[in-house]
Amino acid sequence: MVKPEESKHVCNVDQFNIEKGETISTLMKSFAGTGFNAKRLGMACEIYEAMVKDRKCVKIMTLAGAMVPAGMRAVISDFVRSGFVDILVTTGANLTHDLIESIGCHHQQGSDQVSDAELHEHEINRIYDVFMPNNAYESMEDFIRTLKFDKTIPVVEFLDFLGGELERLPAEAVRDSILRTCHEKKVPIYCPAFTDCGLGIQLAMNNRGLKLDLFEDLNRMIGKAWDSEDVGVFIIGGGVPKNYTFQALQFSPNSASYAIQVTTDRPEPGGLSGATLSEAVSWGKVNEKARTITVICDATIAVPLILAYLKDTCTA
Amino acid sequence: MVKPEESKHVCNVDQFNIEKGETISTLMKSFAGTGFNAKRLGMACEIYEAMVKDRKCVKIMTLAGAMVPAGMRAVISDFVRSGFVDILVTTGANLTHDLIESIGCHHQQGSDQVSDAELHEHEINRIYDVFMPNNAYESMEDFIRTLKFDKTIPVVEFLDFLGGELERLPAEAVRDSILRTCHEKKVPIYCPAFTDCGLGIQLAMNNRGLKLDLFEDLNRMIGKAWDSEDVGVFIIGGGVPKNYTFQALQFSPNSASYAIQVTTDRPEPGGLSGATLSEAVSWGKVNEKARTITVICDATIAVPLILAYLKDTCTA
Amino acid sequence: MVKPEESKHVCNVDQFNIEKGETISTLMKSFAGTGFNAKRLGMACEIYEAMVKDRKCVKIMTLAGAMVPAGMRAVISDFVRSGFVDILVTTGANLTHDLIESIGCHHQQGSDQVSDAELHEHEINRIYDVFMPNNAYESMEDFIRTLKFDKTIPVVEFLDFLGGELERLPAEAVRDSILRTCHEKKVPIYCPAFTDCGLGIQLAMNNRGLKLDLFEDLNRMIGKAWDSEDVGVFIIGGGVPKNYTFQALQFSPNSASYAIQVTTDRPEPGGLSGATLSEAVSWGKVNEKARTITVICDATIAVPLILAYLKDTCTA
Amino acid sequence: MVKPEESKHVCNVDQFNIEKGETISTLMKSFAGTGFNAKRLGMACEIYEAMVKDRKCVKIMTLAGAMVPAGMRAVISDFVRSGFVDILVTTGANLTHDLIESIGCHHQQGSDQVSDAELHEHEINRIYDVFMPNNAYESMEDFIRTLKFDKTIPVVEFLDFLGGELERLPAEAVRDSILRTCHEKKVPIYCPAFTDCGLGIQLAMNNRGLKLDLFEDLNRMIGKAWDSEDVGVFIIGGGVPKNYTFQALQFSPNSASYAIQVTTDRPEPGGLSGATLSEAVSWGKVNEKARTITVICDATIAVPLILAYLKDTCTA
């Protein structure tokens, strides 16, 4: 709560100018001195920069929404490759679509102004304005059938194994793979609703030897929270990945020191994806002294802008 | 796609009046002749009524969002008790909060204008404007420790077992329990992200004998889709429950003939919770001839109104 | 700011039941004991009831959005007829569409899934899922040409005159007219952006003798604020009507004692329609002790529910 | 409507990379090959570029929302100075806040987590997270009292006069003024709800000689639409400026060939600010062959990004 007395010392709003050839990082710095969501985005950049520069901070990215279909696969991978993410918690869909690109299938620029009945007839699945031919599932199935298991493992271990298996595929196709980059950088991937995606369903149907131990995932995730004194979370889109990460912090003595949230949801209907980061303080998920900001923006716009800022300010 | 020629035959907007003592069902009927979300809500009532009156229709409710903390526990249970739901697919949170009420703890009317740091100090967790004292978790843990297992089962089977166990508790506290009502009415509960809730986490910590087989849940859910020629879905809030249900329909030869969605999300950012029901047609999740409607409204407002309508039109 | 100590005394969330034949007012009372927007809607009903029962309170309704095309003409009129509104501040569009219904033209139930190019060819204008044949403007023009003026008047005076002129039209068509009901009940209508509507544009083109004195409107509106010690505002949809009303309160020594807002906008992007009622306290538009609530809901759903509640609780 | 056959020829989604030192214009080009709102923003840049390069196109910017308080004053002025805007249609608030900065007062970086009652006590007005000391109004009043009129003029003429008067003020303070830049570049400013702002109210109270002729504004605005064969509209935030501009196009034989909309509103509640650009085709406001795009984003983020793109692609 800012006291009005203090407000006398606050800075003026920066009525900034834009130059020709303006870089993203320069604009994000200008944004930090403005208002509304431009300011929030500028602050998100600053807080993430502090997270990266805080050597003890364990940086958790939580990922929901169809980021890979929308063209954000290399952006997410670059967060991992650049060392901006230490743990990834994600929906299964982003992994499924990452795998689809890895095996050489592609998402297509489509349209939302289209007959879905005709698309269905042509076996093209729509994700808002992105199309994915349904035969991508068949190609994925062919690949999945080449995997051999006969054990019970947590999902986090299976996903690391899968990332390694991608090395068999053409280098160009997997260079920007999220699964493979996480495997290479030893960034664990937690996927709490793993049976809720195409990859999960195909494993259920084709690999009867594989059993998943999701309680073990949970124990390991809580263990991570327990072991990390200094945690920063970067929440993209909310959902189960957000809740699962916050739950691990709730059931450990630690809480996040940094928290950035990019969402288009709002708090009043009470759903977790729109819940404020302040609310998380009451649960012990976020520290009351944490630096936090929520940016109300489509993640496909905000997340690449944050990456570009970090590449300019946090890489050699 | 309505042809303008046909539009000449469309009805006038009903400039309806409201009478003193107006019942909900009467207003919903008026709404069906208007525009915008009032019309959509009126149509949702009509479509749900058709679903109930179609004896072959298997009615699936998907439930996300903090409906129980917001006071909607008896409303959801009443959908089940009245025969308006045949399968429930839900987040773990709603089951956790249902259990908390069942063991005699309560959610409290709070406020979002509050210091979350002070709440944390007083061990009160906030869910938007609802408070939940943290010791509810301890009471829940005491109850969970009384449960004995030593086997590997799908979540759907465990939840049915749990619903039965609630009969040990005081009748008044469990009368409107979702878990118990589903057990009584033999309505299976699927919970695909079960480790992502307080109940799941406490089972992981306290009941080492229990192992969950989520692949078996998936197979059973797909089996349900495969066996149901005529499916109607009532989607509250999206998330994993929506995706899991639609995925089962996608991987079966059947698709939904009726679909009603209550959400505050929007389609353009590409997330599943805001995706249109038309998009689901391209995937084969919803039939191109299905009767569908999306109501853009907080579920705490729309869902009770729909229940009241159904009670007047579909019960003896 | 609720203190956590006080929170110990807060009530439990009411896990309410719904009965067959449930009336709207009963449900709204239940809602007041819940959470999220259901609670907010219940509180809006309670606050409006208090406004009506506070004999000294001057009740201002501000109206934006296409409420008349969506079938809410009689609902708005009934607020006026029942004495729930003392001053109406509105966009011109609602008056234009009210006039269109008054002269015997109708809005039609259409669809948003339609070719707008074909609609244009057929001279049908679309307002989301409502159609309005363009020839309604011609009928309106014929009526407007029958009006005779040769003076400079404030808009508020012109609109009262227009309401009186409607008595020439068939009783059935004007019974639920907003313009006519306001004229009868002597409720002044302020329309600050009057040249921004079909009615305004046709007057500009056809009635060269009429001149509008919008400064005089402003002075009268500020005078109303100045004279009303006790003000309650019911804000439907924000926009210029909200700002104009709050501006009058800002430039008078009085501020609103009650404020209810129904909107789907959110505060973070900084626009007035989504601004919180708390923000209005800083400007002196709303009293810091005022009873206020914002309901995040489509007005076509919330406003009829509030009317039904008031008819049950505030009329003989 | 895209045919699925055509969809076979659509491009793959561009899984783009971001380089160190990435410029905004490069990223916007990448965005155009993705999905969701990133793609929409990329397309908005491309369409605006086409508008600027189409020499016959009359470019209308419509401006709502508190852009100046949020630090966007120089950005808006730069659109005008760079020749990207030929006509400005705006709310009065943006002009009021532009004038406030011109006379040497400043908006301050504040917070939305603050006691509005205390702010009120300290005479600080809040606009979401921006503060404005109330004495800015007094300074503005002092300036306004120096203006002398005794005539009836349209608002567009008064605002041009006011822009000229700003030359009396220190160059540094007015260099990025919207009013002054428009005056210099001979870009007319239409402000249809002019009495709904601090500037309007102070003129009403202090300059009794001035009379506004808003019908004349309307005639001139329609004249502009009538005279412009090729129109492009850039809609920031909707509201009266959007409606007024579209209304002028509706009542002229021309319609927009290009339309870009940046908004956070959605179409389903039927309000104009959230209405699709397709809907405007049915009214004859936008041409059915027009290039159009709506970007769902806070304008404080999207508008500067578009400006930066245009500066790189459309200036020497």
Q: What is the pLDDT of residues D48-94, one digit of tens each?
A: 999 999 999 999 999 999 999 999 999 999 999 999 999 999 999 99
Does A110 touch chain D if contact means CB atoms closer than 8 Å?
yes
Look at D266 and B35 and tell me if their CB atoms are within 8 Å: no
The values of phi and psi at residue B219, to 5°, are -60, -40
Contacts of A4 in chain D (CB under 8 A): 114-115, 118-119, 121-122, 124
Q: C-alpha distances in angstroms, B177 versus A74, A252, B89, B190?
A: 46, 30, 16, 16
> What is the per-residue pLDDT across B21-54, written as a single tens digit (0 to 9) for each?
999 999 999 999 999 999 999 999 999 999 999 9
Does residue A54 surpass a pLDDT of 90?
yes
Given CATH 3.40.50.300, say whether it is the number of domain D4-314.
Answer: no
Given a contact cutoff of 8 angstroms between Cβ atoms, the answer to whether A74 and A48 are in contact is no
Structure token digits, residue B11: 């009805």
ipTM here = 0.96
Which residues from chain D sit within 8 angstroms of residue C249, using beta carbons? Answer: none
Distance CA B126, CA B109 (A): 10
The single residue listed with the structure tokens 């839900």 is B90
Packing angle, helices B135-145 and B92-102, rounded to 10: 90
Homologous superfamily, domain B4-16+30-314: Deoxyhypusine synthase (3.40.910.10)
Rg of chain D (C-alpha set): 20
CA atoms within 13 A on the CB side of B255: 19
Residue B304 has pLDDT above 90, yes or no: yes
Q: Does B279 touch chain A (CB under 8 A)?
A: yes
User: Is the Cβ pair A40, C296 closer than 8 Å?
Assistant: no
What's the rounded Cα separation, in Å, for the pair C42 and C157? 36
pLDDT along chain C (316 residues), means of 10: 52 97 98 98 98 97 97 98 98 98 97 96 98 96 90 96 96 97 98 96 87 95 95 97 97 96 97 96 98 98 98 94
Predicted local distance difference test score (pLDDT) of residue C1:
42
Q: What is the DSSP letter of D133?
A: E
Distance CA C200, CA C159 (A): 11
Within 10 angstroms of residue C3's Cβ, the number of other Cβ atoms is 12
Block residue for tokens 């699945």:
A125
pLDDT of residue C6: 52
Name the DSSP letter for residue C13: P
Q: SS3 sequence, chain A?
A: CECHHHHCCCCECCCCCCCCCCEHHHHHHHHCCCCHHHHHHHHHHHHHHHHHHCCCCEEEEEECCCCCCCCCHHHHHHHHHCCCCCEEEECHHHHHHHHHHHCCCCCEECCCCECHHHHHHCCEEEECCEEEECHHHHHHHHHHHCCCCCCEECHHHHHHHHHHHHHHCCHHHHCCCHHHHHHHHCCCEECCCCCCCHHHHHHHHHCCCCEECHHHHHHHHHHHHHHCCCEEEEEECCHHHHHHHHHHHHCCCCCEEEEEEEECCCCCCCCHHHCCHHHHHHCCCEEEEEEEEEEECCHHHHHHHHHHHHHHHHCC
Residue pair C220/C154 in contact by the 8 Å Cβ criterion: yes
* Among candidates B35, B40, B268 on the partner chain, residue whose Cβ is nearest the Cβ of D296: B268
Restricting to A residues 214-273, those with a Cβ less than 8 Å away from any Cβ of C are 266, 268-270
Can you give the residue ranges of every domain in chain B? 4-16+30-314
Q: Cβ(B16)–Cβ(B32) under 8 Å? A: no
Q: To which H or E segment does residue D21 belong?
A: none
D48 Cβ contact list (under 8 Å, min separation 6): D84, D232, D234, D258, D260, D306, D309, D310
Give a three-class secondary structure readout of B144-200. HHCCCCCCEECHHHHHHHHHHHHHHCCHHHHCCCHHHHHHHCCCCEECCCCCCCHHH
Provide CATH code, domain C53-314.
3.40.910.10
Cα torsion through A274, A280, A283, A284, rounded to 10: 160
Q: How far is CA C188 from the centre of its chain?
A: 13
Based on the residue annotation, tell me whether B285 is a catalytic residue of this protein: yes
For residues D144 and B1, what is the distance between their CA atoms, to the nearest angstrom? 55
pLDDT value of position C9: 56
Phi, psi of A249 (to 5 degrees): -70, -35
Of D36, D37, D270, the CB nearest to B36: D270
Is B201 at the interface with chain A, CB within 8 A? yes
Fold of the domain built from segment(s) A11-314? Deoxyhypusine Synthase (3.40.910)
The Cβ of residue D239 has, within 10 Å, a number of other Cβ atoms equal to 33
Catalytic residue among C29, C59, C242, C285: C285
pLDDT score for B150: 85
Mutate to test the interface with A, among D7, D174, D311 (most CBs of A within 10 A): D7
- pLDDT tens for each residue of A241-270: 999 999 999 999 999 999 999 999 999 999
Q: Residue D196: CB partners within 8 Å, gap ≥ 6?
A: C192, C193, C240, C243, C244, C247, D91, D92
**For residue B148, what pLDDT is reported?**
84
**Touching B: which chains, 3+ CB pairs < 8 A?**
A, C, D
Nearest chain D CA: its distance from C108 CA (Å) = 14
Q: Which of D35, D266, D270 minimises the CB distance to B266?
A: D266
Q: A130 forms bridges with which residues in the sheet?
A: A109, A127
| B212 and B152 Cβ atoms separated by less than 8 Å | yes
| C41 at A interface, C-beta within 8 A | no
- pLDDT at residue C76, as a whole number: 98
What per-residue confidence (pLDDT) applies to C3?
A: 52
CA distances from residue B94 to A191, B283, C33 in whole angstroms, order as listed: 20, 28, 19
Q: Residue A26: is its pLDDT beyond 90?
A: yes
Query: Which residues on chain B are in Cβ contact (under 8 Å) with D36?
Result: 268-270
Q: Mind telling me how many Å the CA of D16 is from chain C's nearest CA?
A: 29
Give the C-alpha separation, C133 to C128, whole Å: 14
D172 touches chain A (CB under 8 A): no
Please state the rounded mean pLDDT for residues A151-175: 96
More confident residue, C247 or A207: C247
Does C200 contact D at CB distance below 8 Å? yes
Helix (H, G, I), strand (E, B) or coil at B293: strand
The closest of B253, A219, D193 to C217, measured between CA atoms, is: D193
User: Which among D229, D224, D235 is positioned nearest to D274, based on CA atoms?
Assistant: D235
Q: Which of D102, A269, B288 is nearest to C40 (CA)?
A: A269
Q: Which residue has the tokens 């002092």?
A: D142
Mean pLDDT, rounded, for A136-162: 94
Nearest in space to B31 (alpha carbons), one of C301, C79, C21, C295: C301
pLDDT of residue A267: 96
Q: pLDDT-derived band of residue A6, with 50, 70 and 90 as boundaries?
A: low
Nearest by Cα to C198 from C103, C80, C116: C103
| Contact assessment for residue C98 and residue C68, using Cβ atoms and an 8 Å cutoff | yes
Task: Return the ∠ at Cα A252 (arms to A247 and A257), rounded to 5°.
Answer: 80
What is the rounded distance in angstroms from the CA atom of residue A149 to the CA atom of residue C129?
A: 54
pLDDT at B1 over 90: no
What percent of chain B is modeled with pLDDT above 70? 97
Residues of chain D with pLDDT under 70: 1-9
Amino acid (one-letter) located at A117: A
Distance of CA B31 to the CA centre of its chain: 23
